[in-house]
Amino acid sequence: MKKYVYFFGRGKAEGKAEMKGLLGGKGANLAEMTNIGLPVPAGFSISTEVCTHFYANKKTYPRSLNAEVVAALKKVESAMGAKFGDPKNPLLVSVRSGARASMPGMMDTILNLGMNDTVAGGLIKKTGNHRFVFDSYRRFVQMYGDVVLGLKPVHKDEIDPFEIIIEKKKKERGVHLDTELNADDMKDLVGLFKKAIKEKTGHDFPEDPLKQLWGAIGAVFGSWSNDRAIAYRKMYDIPEVWGTAVNIQSMVFGNMGETSGTGVAFTRNAASGDDMFYGEYLMNAQGEDVVAGTRTPLPISDLAEKNPVIYKQLDRIRHTLEKHYRDMMDVEFTIQEGKLYMLQCRVGKRTAFAAIKIAVDMVGEKLISDREALARIEPDQLNQLLRPVFDLKEKESAVKSGRLLAKGLNAGPGAATGRVVFNAPDAEAWKKRGELVILTRIETSPEDIKGMDAAEGILTARGGMTSHAALVARQMGKVCVAGCSSLEIDYATHTMTVKGKKIREGDWISLDGTTGEVIEGKVATRPSEVLRVLVDKSLDPKDAPVYQQYARIMQWADKHRRLKIRTNADQPDQALNAVAFGAEGIGLCRTEHMFFGEGKIGPMREMILADTVEDRKRALAKLLPLQRKDFEGIFEAMNGRPVTIRTIDPPLHEFVPHEEPAQRELARQMGTTYEKVHQRVESLHEFNPMLGFRGCRLGIIFPEITEMQSRAIFEAAANVKARGIAVEPEIMIPLVGNVKELAHQEKIVRRVAAEVMKEKGTKFKYLVGTMIEIPRGALTADEIAGVAEFFSFGTNDLTQTTLGVSRDDAARFLIPYVEMEIYPKDPFEALDRIGVGELMKIAIAKGRSVRPDLKVGICGEHGGDPSSIEFCHQINQNYVSCSPFRVPIARLAAARAALADKPAGGTRKKAAGKKSPRKR
């Protein structure tokens, strides 16, 4: 018979960390912590298979489940020496959801379950602690009422009915905090809560503990398909079929008085990565009190003074956990009358800064290998290291002039400037109209996720470093200042008051998430440490710890990757930046960008509008020295690295003026009439320029253009070589679909090369190749490779032509398409592996069948996308080419692809170029 329930307790568990798929993350780690001897209250997990069964069978359970639950409950009872529902010696439990991937705050936990009037009476006898018992009881009724009986408000403006009752009670009693209510107040609350439940639902509150238990189990499984959970799953690509597990665990109580408490902690600093215990706790508190933001918790370092015995024990557990899991962990603990219990652990979410520092440090501590370090850093996280920070001088002067509004917790590092909005839907709407916004909330909740995603930065008035806002911001890589208690936020009027100043919706503020400062108005930013070292060269690497970590990661990445990384650049300064970021060549130099440079657009226009070959040649002759100079600059910057130069590609009408005054001016320059210019421009009009007179078609109809460009490239090569700099030009012909097109152009290129070598009395190596960017090119790649010495996939056009989708017109249907999962991601961002990828595989196989050493690269936008880079690795390309600022990301992505392909100690999973997995 299938096993659905897994027990943990008394130092032994049926589950383990590897069983996350079955037990969920929480259940698997509770089992693991039990097995490594940490103090975990006994309990059991109901597997995710029951969730699957639940949804496949009209929300019912497998037949054998009941008996398994009863048996597991018995084991828990005997481990804890108490009985569920027994008034003399009652066992209370928590019912906790736990999916495979952690979904913070997505599904609700119920504490103190098993409580009723008789049990409460028994518990009072046992503990002599009235207040504790009724505090636990009222919490239970509230949580059960909210989660299981559905009293929790759905709309963001509604208030929890139980909170209304509590507020009324506090007013009556003239107190401010829940903790100031006494035992009798709590007892009253229980009665009032139950009455409210009866009024709202028409049913009495269930007194039978078993009935409570099954109600709670059903609610946890039910919550897998609530709106919040669905939204979160969408955002983080968590498949619906995974399901959630349910954990039932005996309660330990942090609310038994001043020797009890509860807390959350990270084994290292989740924002900076520093190796220090990092967390918060509250005495005489239960469950979510620490993260809810209603009471401000104390830093864990205080515990070292106030309760050194517990602190030492916790600190030992911190080291045990890091040694065991070999990662930074996030833990929950409770102290019951001086005794410590561990209630949860999982790999801790962290900022990009922290991820990199922790990975590098742990390699240094020999906890992990460099390969593991690379596997732990998402390529896109490197972006955060390249992002600007506030200009310190500007910030100081802002602070001096009294613009420092407040200081909160530095929950998400980085610099953000934007306009204040006070709720998530506004953040989304403003962002849609192109505004930069700072989402400002008293505290955030999972309903705010989309708004947080839309915001540049997040600012909250309440909550600590482990509050929802802080957690989610770090995960998203957002700037966040949390727990800024001096902000008085008024949702109703969309304003906040701070330091006597009124800040209105739409006002500019700036957040320094690294220091926690909130500054009025805009503050200028400046380049990151990495950029200052590599690009500006204004900072010594010695003084740049963040840069040093970056450099280690890059060094490891380079050791493991097989793909070469090139860059798309057409100016010497761009090329130099890219080289500083580690580019090993240029994969795409777009010559047409050069035509827009100073002094060049005039002759270019003359060339385009010329009537005769002679006129055109005259104009081209003016362009030749200008292009030659450009290429010399590029070759010098690349200093011997390969440079792929594409001959002219875009439709000619993109270069000519379309407005009358500009056309008149051009006519004057060319010594001709406005009418003639106007008429020539009109004649260049095309219905579908993307498929029109462009690419190699230009060079075939006007061979003198290709001739001029080749000459400019080769003369530049000869000149630079004469200055002692190695050159390796690769001439790339765009938009080839038929080998004859390429052959036509190749002939010109090779003739000019020979001429230049002869004229200059020199020799240089060069290659002639083509872009593969229309399906016919890919399908006839064997013919094409007979001429081409290299292929470069132009995946922007290849995606357009394969999907039959014009990228410029696609937004209105592609965005809904992705939402409807017709395509898993925007195919212009992440390569469509199944369709476009198939053509790429065909092209490589056919091309290499006639030219085994054919060099293959990619120069479309996808060349900087980590998932597309992984695919390029899998299909055995030689290199990827991306924009300069994505080069570090591409280096890391290429290394991760290589490591995934070649597990430690093993051999390659699959033969090169063979079937690669159709991952989506």
> Which residues form the catalytic set?
468, 859
Taking phi over 0 as left and psi of -120 to 50 as alpha, with beta for the rest, 623 belongs to alpha
Residue nearest to Mg ion (CB): 797
DSSP per-residue codes, 85-146: T-SSSEE-EEEEEEESS--TTTS--EEEET--HHHHHHHHHHH--HHHHHHHHHHHHHHIII
Q: Minimum Å distance from CB 862 to Mg ion?
A: 12
Rule CB under 5 A: which of 627-686 touch Mg ion?
A: none
By C-beta, is 76 or 843 nearer to ligand ADP?
A: 76
Nearer to ligand ADP, 332 or 606 (CB): 332
- In sequence order, what are the residues at sequence separation of 6 or more whose Cβ sits closer than 8 angstroms to the Cβ of residue 444? 452, 458, 460, 463, 467, 468, 469, 472
Instruction: Give the number of other Cβ atoms within 10 Å of residue 763's Cβ.
Output: 10
What are 341's strand-pairing partners?
334
Residue 576 has, within 13 A of its CA and on its CB side, a CA count of 11
Is residue 861 at the binding interface for Mg ion, with CB under 5 A as the rule? no
Binding to ligand ADP by residue 82, rule CB under 6 A?
no
Angle, in degrees to the nearest 10, between helices 161-173 and 183-201:
150
- Looking at the Cβ atoms of 105 and 695, the one nearer to ligand ADP is 105
- The CA distances from residue 357 to 410, 450, 550, in Å, are 17, 29, 9
Q: Is 252 in the site for ligand ADP (CB under 6 A)?
A: yes
What part of residues 276-305 is at the interface with ligand ADP (CB under 6 A)?
A: 287-288
Residues 6+ apart with CB under 8 A from 426: 437, 451, 505
8 A C-beta contact, residue 858 and residue 790? no
The number of residues that bind Mg ion (CB under 5 A) is: 4
Minimum distance of Mg ion from residue 172's CB (angstroms):
33
Smallest gap from Cβ 316 to ligand ADP, in A, equals 20
Nearest CA-CA partner of 859 in 667, 649, 663, 689? 649
CB of 209 to ligand ADP, least distance (A): 15
Closer to ligand ADP by CB, 247 or 567: give it: 247
Question: Which of 188, 797, 832, 861 is close enough to bind Mg ion by CB under 5 A?
Answer: 797
Q: Does residue 478 bind ligand ADP (CB under 6 A)? A: no
Candidates 178, 327, 332, 517: give the one binding ligand ADP (CB under 6 A).
332
Question: Contacts with ligand ADP in 624-663 (CB under 6 A)?
Answer: none
Shortest distance (Å) from residue 332 CB to Mg ion: 5
Residue 109 sits in the site that holds ligand ADP (CB under 6 A): yes
C-alpha distances (whole Å) from 760 to each of 282, 632, 755, 765 are: 81, 15, 9, 14
Minimal distance in Å, beta carbon 228 to ligand ADP? 12
Q: Is 346 in the site for ligand ADP (CB under 6 A)?
A: no
Question: Which of ligand ADP, Mg ion, none binds 105 (CB below 5-8 Å, type-dependent)?
Answer: ligand ADP
The yes or no reply on residue 143 touching ligand ADP (CB under 6 A) is: no
Residue-wise DSSP of 204-239: PPP--HHHHHHHHHHHHHHHTTSHHHHHHHHHTT--
Binds Mg ion (CB under 5 A): choice among 24, 287, 413, 794 = 794
Nearer to ligand ADP, 255 or 627 (CB): 255
**85 contact choice in Mg ion, ligand ADP, none (CB below 5 to 8 Å, kind-dependent):** none
Residue 343 sits in the site that holds ligand ADP (CB under 6 A): yes
Q: Are 103 and 223 in contact (CB under 8 A)?
A: no
Q: Check binding of 96 to ligand ADP (CB under 6 A).
A: yes
Decide which of Mg ion, ligand ADP, none touches 867; Cβ closer than 5 to 8 Å per partner kind. none
Residue 142: which of Mg ion, ligand ADP, none does it interact with, CB under 5 to 8 A by kind? none
Q: Which two tokens stand for residue 184?
A: 């009798």
Q: Which of 85, 105, 114, 860 binds ligand ADP (CB under 6 A)?
A: 105
Dist CA 470 CA 453 (whole Å): 13
Minimum distance of Mg ion from residue 291's CB (angstroms): 8
- Binding residues with ligand ADP: total (CB under 6 A): 15
Query: For residue 624, which amino acid is it?
Result: L
CB of 475 to ligand ADP, least distance (A): 14
For helices 703-722 and 613-638, give the axis angle rounded to 10 degrees: 30
The single-letter DSSP state of residue 583 is -
Helix (H, G, I), strand (E, B) or coil at 506: coil
Tokens encoding 910: 């699959």
Pick what 288 binds: Mg ion, ligand ADP, none; C-beta below 5 to 8 Å, kind-dependent.
Answer: ligand ADP
Q: Does 249 sit near ligand ADP (CB under 6 A)?
A: yes
Q: Least separation, in Å, of the C-beta of 105 and Mg ion?
A: 9
- Identify the helix (H) or strand (E) that includes residue 744: helix 739-760
Question: Which residues in the 296-355 window bind Mg ion by CB under 5 A?
Answer: 344
Site string for Mg ion, 755-774 (x = CB under 5 A): ------------------x-
- Shortest Cβ distance from residue 774 to ligand ADP (Å)? 51
The three state secondary structure string of 51-95 is HHHHHHCCCCCCCCHHHHHHHHHHHHHHHHCCEECCCCCEECEEE
Choice between 106 and 586, CB closer to ligand ADP: 106
Residue 797 interacts, among Mg ion, ligand ADP, none and using kind-specific CB cut-offs from 5 to 8 Å, with: Mg ion
Nearer to ligand ADP, 336 or 876 (CB): 336
Answer yes or no: are the C-beta atoms of 186 and 131 closer than 8 Å.
yes
Part in contact with ligand ADP (CB under 6 A); list of ranges 180-188, 248-256, 609-617, 661-669: 248-256
The three-point CA angle 563-564-570 to 5° equals 140
Question: Which positions from 234 to 263 touch Mg ion by CB under 5 A, shown as an x/- string?
Answer: ------------------------------
Residue 757's Cα: distance from chain center in Å? 51
Question: CB within 8 A of 655, min separation 6: which ones?
Answer: 592, 595, 601, 604, 605, 608
Q: CA of 770: how far to CAs of 356, 364, 714, 787, 796, in Å?
A: 39, 46, 18, 9, 15
| Residue 249 contact partner, candidates Mg ion, ligand ADP, none, CB within 5 to 8 A by sort of partner | ligand ADP
Residues near Mg ion (CB under 5 A) are 344, 773, 794, 797
Residues near ligand ADP (CB under 6 A) are 41, 94, 96, 105, 109, 111, 249, 251-252, 287-288, 332, 334, 343-344
